[in-house]
Structures are given as structure tokens and as C-alpha cells.
Structure 1
Amino acid sequence: MYQVLIADDEILDLEGMCQFIPWTDLGLEVTGTVNNGFEAMEVFENRHVDILVTDVHMPGMSGMELARKALHLHPDLKLIFVSGYQDFAYVKEALSLQAYSYVLKPMDDHELITVLQKITNELNEKHLCDEFDFAFSQAAIKSIEYHLIGKRSAHINEQHPDIYRMTADAKALILDKPLDRLVSCLLAGDRVMVLQEMEDLLSAVRNDNRKSQLHFIVLYLLIRIDNYVSTHLNYPVGFIPLSEMEVEQIKSHHSKSGLICWLAEHLLNLFDMDNHPRFKQKKHAKVIGQVIQYMEEHLHLNVTLREVADELSFSPNYLGAIFKEETGKSYNEYIIALRMEKARTLLQDPKIKVYEVADRVGYRYMPYFSRQFKETYGMTPIEYRRKA
């Protein structure tokens, strides 16, 4: 249930809202009722709140001031203002805070219920999109694994029927479309024609498709192109890089046009052999390989750049500079990425406790590990384990 906080210095109005609004039927729970903004802020600092219903006029801290402070703590908070005054200045300020409604007292219960229903519908849609987004990421990795290794470790499509439908839609939309012209344009480096071919290939994809479905179709197209160049041009399987990094890049685009532009640039860079990460000659590839190997073997320890430099007989400044030049990431950024990837893999094994996962990837302080994991994947280790 979504959590609601009600703030109103008028006791009768407060009790009326609690008593006459069917909160449970709306999928809502009143997590607190307070008479002033200061008490409301205490609730915000200690509990999660999805919706704030607040009177505009309260002693000490107005409802507007409370809303601004609360939004600073919880940017996704949904706001409803109630007031006995139809003051244009207050209405204007409420609009600037993107409030859902400005309800006048004496309150019409039906009006407040209608607004609450609109908010819960939006929250439900966002929750569903988040679930789809997570399911897409899981299905994407399994699809890549199947393509590159030929082995499926989990039947993700069976676990997520909507993802199964996405896969079927992707195949139906682009499976039979030939790739010859697209690949020829990529080999020629013809940006204009590549964009045109992309438009044609994805012409059947609608702009109003669910984002995760659109993302899956693009991923499926990348897999098809990799299959094509390995079959027809004898390129190695994996010429088109397919990993979590590519999945995240796909997910960062929310429109068909944005995805087409990214896809065209991404493929043109790959087909320019001088820029392809697999074929580009790197001056320090051997040294960087040794650094990464040392990092991977010592993830459970707090290994610093200085220690690695000493081990390989380099100065830390020089090693740090060539590492950034070759990988595009600093030493610290790279080792955090390695640790988070290892942690994500370990969390999929329910026999390993979360604190043991943290210890195995070099974190002794659980809150720091949890914060780092959430910054990387958008959820805590415990939330990830539940979904995985």
C-alpha cells in the first residue's frame, strides 16, 4: 500500500479525512496525522511517504513551506493542498510545486477521492514500469547469454509472460527483414543511409510501445546483426558487444527516435575498425590486463592503486594515467564496477548471506556496500535479491 501523511491544524478536518475517505479501498494507508509542519517533517525524516495531503494555512510552518522541505527529502512525493481560501497566489504556488489538486474547504469527499485515485493509478503505472524494467534487464542478459554461449541458465520468459510477449513481438516485427543493405551501409560508413535503413527496419515499431518492449526489440536487432556478420562475413561472434553495459545504454533512451540515433552511431563506430574496442591496438593492453587480473583476484581486499603499482613496479601516477587512457575509467571507478558486478552475481545465490557478499567484494561496512549497490543498480542488495 502507498503511504499517506495528512497535515492539518483543524482537528475536525483531520478526523473527517481519516474517517470518510476509503483509504484501504484506494490502496492507501494513512501513515501519520499531524497538526503542524514541524511534526510532519519528523515523519518525513523517519518514514517513507508517497502522498502528502496538507492544509495551506498552519501555524509556524505553512503547508507550502512544508511541501517545499518535504520535496527536498522526497522528490517523487505527490502533493494535495487543502484550504479554506481560494487565494490565487496560493493556487499559483501550488501549481509551481506540481501539486495534483487544490481542494477547497468545506471539502467534497468525492473530489479528494478522485484526485487520490488519479495519484494511485500513476503510482501503480510507475511500479509496473519499474517491474518491467527489471524484468527486461534480466531477460536481456539471458538472451545475450543464450546468443553468445548457447546455454540458457534460467527460463526468464516463462517467469515473466510479458517479457515472453515482448520477445515474440520483437521477432515478429524484425525477424524477416533483411540486413544486407544495413550492413553494406555500415561497411561504407554512410551515416545518412544507415539512419534510413534503421528507420525502415523499425518502421513497424510504434512510438507508444512500452519502453521495455522497445528496448528489447533494439537488443534483439543487435543480436541479429551480430549473427549476420558472423555468418556472412566470418566476423567473430561478439563483434557487436553485448553485455550489461549495452543493456544500460539501451535503457537510457526512452523514445524510438532517440534509440535509432544512438543505434546508428553505435554501429558506425563499431564498423570503423580503428575504433572497434576488439580490434583497436592499445599500447598498454598487456599491462592493463595484468592490473585488471590483479584487481579481480583481490576483490575481497581493499587494494589501492599504489599497491597494484608497487606489485607491477610502476609509479601510481603513471599507472593511473595509462589505466584511464586505456579503459576510459579511473582505477576507483573500474574496481567499483567489478565489485558491483561480482556482488550482483553472488546475490543470485540465496545460500550466500548479504553480509557475506559484501565481505567477498571488499566491503566491511554494510551500509556503505548497500549505498554503493543502490547507486549502481537503483535498488538495495536485499531488494535485488528479492526480485532476482
Structure 2
Amino acid sequence: MYHVLVVEDELLIRDALVEMVHQLDGFKVTGEAASCEEGWRLMQELWPTVVITDIQLPDQDGLELIHRIRNQRLPVVTIIISGHDRFSYAQNAIRLHVSEYLLKPISEVELHSALSRSVGRLETCIEPNQILRDIQRFIDRLHEFEPIGLFEQTDRILHAILGGRSLDQGSQTSYLRIFMGKLTEYIKIIHPEFQDASLPEDLNEQRVRHVFHDLLHEWTLRYPQFAGNNMRLVIKRACEYMGAHMQDELTLKQMADYSNLSPSYFGVLFKQYTGKSFVNYLNYIRIEKAMELLRTSDKKVYEIAEDVGFATLPYFNRVFKHVALVTPNEYRKGLGL
């Protein structure tokens, strides 16, 4: 199954693109974003193998997102959608090795054909993409490991990066920096004065392990002291606020400001303490409330969608089915209501 990230600021178009992707076997949308920065953040959390992005976004254009993907040598097939048939855009897209350049309005046949033509390139992404997913899975569970497990899992990932044949040296350096950056970010949460480490220039596996082992020693030394402080209460307070204001348009930055934390710091802490990303947690509590309203009221489904903060009914239906495994109507019928 190839995972897809859709980056499009117009909600109706984004909904349509997501539905089109879901109609094609072998592809699944795992993330949606409305801006370049949000797309880049999700890119580094979900590690999709396909990115479908509009060129014109509210903050920066989609080419900037693709430029970042190429700079970090990420194993991603990129598809651009645009409302403008501009030669300069096409030139830049070619330079960035974009797989497809599609003009709006896009039909399901066009998008399916573009994705199908990309399968050959996607096959080469599978192994390196798995390494990135393994890094993310390890980081997300960092606080669960005993020290021995931490070192064993780290060595396994480092060997996958340095010991295989799927990555050239440039990609090896990039993946090691991604791994080191994520690990350092967690350490800085519990020790803000921590100084960044650096990789050995020759990427000798033994020397690289030594650098990462030093990072792990820092984590295992300081995390027990950190785990007992008031950060859990900060996230608990944020969750309570989200529960009381779920009908509003909540963003990670808004909640970080509410908690007096940086967005990056808040996002890491939030996932650590809730087990879910900010977006997944917000969707989960919204759907939990929607299920309650479906059981206890006679409101229409679209009214319930509005009550719990969803801007469109298609998006509500899609998220509901992802969480509850059935549609809202199926859920209500299953209760005999």
C-alpha cells in the first residue's frame, strides 16, 4: 500500500483529491495539509511515498515543499496540480524531478493514470522509506524502551542506513541527520541547553554508533527526572481545552501558544503523552463526540458534523469511517436508531 500526502488549501478540492485516491487500489491517503509548512511537518511525521501538492499555497508554493523533499533525498514521488499552465512552473518542476504536472480541474481518470504511471518509481522507494518509518516508530516509542532496547534498536537502524546497498552516501548522510535531529529534539525537551552533536565525515559505522550512543546516554540519564515534572499537566490542560472547544478551528500553533510552548516542543510532548499526533487526537475526540450525538440526539449527520468542528460533510464522513470503521449512517443504523 502506497501512502499519499495531499497538500491543497482549497478544502473542496482537497476532499475531491482524497476521494479520487481512495478509489484506486494500492493507494491510501494518510495525511492532508493546507499549507507548505503543515505539509512539511506531516511529511516528516508520516513519511508518505507520494505527495500530491498544489503549486499555489497560502504560505509558500508547492515547489518549495518539493525542493525540501529533494534536498533531504527523501524517497518520494511528487505530483503537482496547478491552476496555471505556466512554463516557468513546468521548468522548475522538471528540475525538481516531479513525476507528474496536472492542470486543474483534475478528473479521476487523470489522477489515477498519473499514480499508475508512478508505480515503477514507487517500487524503488519502498526500502529507503521503510528505514524512515523505522526511525519514526523508534522516536515515537523512545520513552517506552529500557536502556538495552534503546541501544539495540538504534544499532539496528544505523546498520540499515549504513550497511545496506539501497542508499548512496548522500542519502545515508541525510537519513542519519534526520535520525539525529529527531533524537536531539527529544533530548532538548528535557535538557534545553544540550549542544548539537555532529556526524563523523567518513560515516564509519563504528564512529557513527559512538555519536548516537552518546545521545542515548544523555537521554537515559535525564529522562527519569523529566518524566515526573509538570509537563504531563500542561498537556492534560491542553487536551481539556481541545475537548471544550472542539467545534472551533484549532491548530497545533494555537494550542502551543495556549500552552506557552514552541510548536515543535508542544507537538513532541503532545504525541509522547497522548500517543497520538495533534491532528489525530483532535479528530478522535471530535468523532467520539459525534458518536455520542448520533446515539443521543435526532440531529442530521451534517448538523452533527458542524457541531463537532468539521467544515465539510465529506471530510467528516471520511474521518468518522477511519476512526469508527463505519459511516455515521451505518453507525446509527447499527444501534437500531
TM-score (norm 1): 0.35
RCO higher in structure (CA 8 A, sep ≥6) = 2
The structure with the largest alpha-carbon Rg is 1
